[in-house]
């Protein structure tokens, strides 16, 4: 959708005019970057900020009897759903933290000890959001949805588990929309936490942190290094060379 607006000077001009008419500060839609999550977050934030403008823009072009009109209708069908708004809100709230972490981990002066602490803090922050952040996110999304008159589902979906997990049990039916979205909220955060753990294995980070502390003299004992590397190092020589 972002590329759809930006790739045509005519469409970009229409979009900019709508921004001016609605007294919205000029915030260009930022394209996704294929290699940096921080650019993705900027993109999502500009979509969220321009949400009402995007709906009006897509409605304007959806009447065209052409391929552009058909594409516009597809985008309009998605962006006018509450689910699209809610998921966008989740992504911004979570990956804002990850963006800051990514920026910090790229600092050339960062130590392993600092990296370990920053990863722990971000993980704890995301876990805290999982524990108590749904209500705030839900209320914010509902408020904006009502302002935009977005379409909500007319019935809850049946949650079907993979066959290997069912063991003859009945598919779960959510009692209301809120519970359905809450389940999605938990599922998304659990995937993100698992991904953080997988990419930043705690035992590896702790090992590198101990090695670093020994090298720079903050850790006086070489026992951990010798235990890990075995006969590859002689403890006394390692200590001697470190202290030279």
Q: What is the pLDDT of residue 13?
A: 92
Predicted pLDDT of residue 170: 62
Q: How confident is the model at residue 154 (pLDDT cuts 50, 70, 90)?
A: low
Q: What is the pLDDT of residues 183-194, one digit of tens each?
A: 999 999 999 999
Q: What is the DSSP string of 159-188?
A: EPPPHHHHTTPPPEE-SSHHHHHHHHHHHH
Q: For residue range 16-27, list pLDDT tens digits in order.
A: 999 999 888 767
Average pLDDT, the chain: 84
In the structure encoding, which two tokens stand for residue 15, read together?
């979009």
The pLDDT score that the predictor gives to residue 141 is: 96
pLDDT of residue 29: 84
Record the tokens describing residue 126, joined without a space: 């995301």
Report the distance separating Cα 56 and Cα 11, nearest Å: 12
């Amino acid at each position: 959708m972002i590329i759809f607006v930006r790739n045509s000077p005519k469409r970009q001009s229409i979009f900019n005019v709508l921004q001016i008419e609605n007294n919205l500060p000029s915030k260009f839609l930022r394209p996704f970057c294929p290699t940096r999550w921080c650019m993705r977050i900027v993109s999502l934030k500009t979509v969220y900020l321009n949400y009402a403008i995007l709906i009006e823009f897509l409605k304007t072009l959806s009447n065209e009897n052409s391929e552009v009109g058909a594409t516009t209708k597809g985008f309009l069908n998605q962006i006018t759903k509450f689910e699209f708004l809610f998921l966008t809100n989740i992504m911004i709230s979570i990956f804002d933290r990850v963006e800051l972490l990514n920026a910090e981990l790229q600092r050339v002066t960062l130590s392993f000890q600092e990296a370990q602490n920053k990863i722990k803090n971000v993980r704890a922050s995301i876990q805290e959001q999982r524990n108590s952040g749904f209500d705030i996110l839900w209320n914010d999304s509902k408020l904006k949805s009502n302002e935009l008159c977005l379409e909500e589902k007319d019935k809850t979906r049946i949650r079907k588990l993979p066959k290997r997990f069912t063991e003859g049990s009945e598919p779960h039916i959510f009692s209301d929309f809120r519970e359905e979205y809450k389940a999605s909220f938990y599922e998304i955060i659990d995937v993100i936490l698992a991904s953080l753990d997988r990419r930043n294995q705690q035992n590896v980070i702790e090992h590198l942190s101990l090695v670093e502390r020994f090298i720079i003299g903050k850790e006086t004992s070489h026992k951990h290094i010798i235990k890990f590397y075995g006969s590859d190092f002689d403890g006394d020589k390692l200590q001697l060379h470190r202290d030279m």
